[in-house]
Amino acid sequence: MRISLAQVDIVWENAPANLKKYKEMAASLKGKSDLLVLPEMCANGFGSEATKVAQYNDGLTISTLRAAAMENDLAIVGSFIAKEDVTHEDGQSETLYFNRGFFIYPDGKTIFFDKRHLFRVGVEGKDYQAGSLEPCIVRYKDWNIRLIICYDLRFPVWCRNVQQGYDLLICVANWPECRIQSWNNMLEARATENQAYACGVNRIGNDGLDLHYNGASAVYSAIGEELGRCHDNEEEVLTLHLDLDRLRHQREKFPAWKDADIFEISGGPADREIQLIGFDADDTLWLNSVYFIRAEKALAEILSPYIDADNLHRRLVAIEAKNMPWYGYGVMAYTLSLMETALQVSEHRLSAEDMERILNIGQKMLAQEVQLYAGVKETLAKLSKHYPLILITKGDMLDQERKLKNSGLQPYFDHIEIVTEKHPEQYKEILSRLHVSPEHFLMVGNSYKSDIIPVLEIGAQAIHTKDDSVWEWEKRDCPDNFFHEIEQLPELLDLLGIK
């Protein structure tokens, strides 16, 4: 089979210009090649804005390349940014995006497959849907051809050639020069370990995100021989002849495939892939409890003629518990409980001046400047480039909105939820509304009661941030099965593999 590697400089987000180039390439290969391999996201380039350039399966990219395949009697393989409109059971509609591979036969028949492993370091892991565990193997001219896309190359188990299931592995990519040594090593390794030809086609040039690509498109034999390689940083079409009989002879002469382990891929961590990260606010992102502790000390000073601090604490906690179903959480609810406690403890003998002092305690808390924990802003800035983020916090709506605005963190969150209580049904309702399954949700917070236990109960994931000043009503025993515990929020980046 004659295979042509199209190492090209993709014009950023300009499908007509790129497709014109591919049509000319296909025409020049008529009668000279059987298969034209284009790079990943060949119409626009990797990292293009999906909402701006995505196309349907019958859009410009596929219709143009299908016509080119039919006119020039050759197959064409590559990937493009695809979109699908879906309607959920609740009647709500949305558009989903995919890094979608295609194999177009010379008669126009087209096989589609979606990239399995989404590149979490870029926008792909945040904006796109992952493909199936099932491998895409197409039959063409007596060859079984396995199709993968870029980052998929890094996962040898998923690429494993089971019982000689394929003869040729094709990987289409936008693989930057800064990681090109890994590309070279892994492409050769996939050929050798699977006793199959391995073809990798990469782009050249600079993309719209200032990444440089040098190409390194190549084909390796089943024994790791480099059969051909495009010149670095040069746009060219390299055509090679692959010998199926030679491959079969190599497999018969050295039948290592017969000793391969039989296994089944269940998905592993991919089935628990995080699609949304939630954050608590108070005492997770910024200081909060310390101001309540100071307020109680100020109240104790005012009420010292009537009660000692320890007994005052017990009385205050009891009154808060009574009022919580009526007032909820937050500074204003707390201030009302302070005033009621003062009236009860003093048997209504407290002066108007002292009552005003207690009111001022609450007002001072509301005016308190927001103080972020170390590294919070930098951590959220990095995380927001890889995952959608949601803030889920309890408290008075006006006060929480004020703190969020003054914190400077609001731009990093895709969704804001200020709730009266955090319980399993509340979390499930939020996730259902956002079309996220619990197993794909990670919650980060300082409270076992509100941020950890209810999240684990619905089958989601949780990370606990240590806090020595947990509020009385948030204290619970540590659950046995929480995901992880961190001292400071920046540790979250290491857990998620983000630099």
Catalytic residue among 13, 40, 188, 193: 40
Catalytic annotation on 40?
Answer: yes
Q: What does the alpha-carbon distance between residue 29 and residue 44 come to, in Å, rounded to a whole number? A: 23
Q: Give phi and psi for 435, each to the nearest 5.
A: 60, 45
The active-site residue out of 150, 171, 199, 230 is 150
Strand intervals (E) in 88-175: 93-104, 110-114, 136-140, 143-149, 168-172
Gap between the Cα atoms of 30 and 125, Å rounded: 38
Q: For tokens 């086609």, what's the residue?
A: 201
Which of 21, 115, 403, 422 is flagged as catalytic? 115
Catalytic residue check, 253: no
Residue 342's identity, in one-letter code, is: A
Give the distance, in angstroms, between the CA of residue 323 and the centroid of all CA atoms in the same chain.
41
The enclosing H or E element of 87 equals strand 75-87
End-to-end Cα spacing for the chain: 43
The DSSP secondary-structure symbol of 282 reads: B
- Which DSSP helix (H) or strand (E) runs through 418? strand 415-419
Q: Per-residue b/e over 405-442, b at no fewer than 16 CB within 10 Å?
A: eebebeebbeeebbbeebbbebbbebbeeeebebebbb
For 181-252, where are the E strands, in sequence order? 197-201, 204-206, 212-214, 218-220, 226-229, 236-241
SS3 247: helix
Cβ count within 10 A of residue 145: 24
Asked if 379 and 347 touch (Cβ cutoff 8 Å), the reply is no
**How many Å apart are CA 262 and CA 257, to the nearest integer?**
11
| 405 is annotated as an active-site residue | no
- The backbone torsions φ and ψ at residue 65, rounded to the nearest 5 degrees and listed phi first, read -70, -30
- The letter for the amino acid at 183 is W
Measured CA to CA in angstroms, residue 438 lies from 87, 363, 459, 491 at distances of 20, 39, 6, 23
Residues labelled as active-site residues: 40, 115, 150
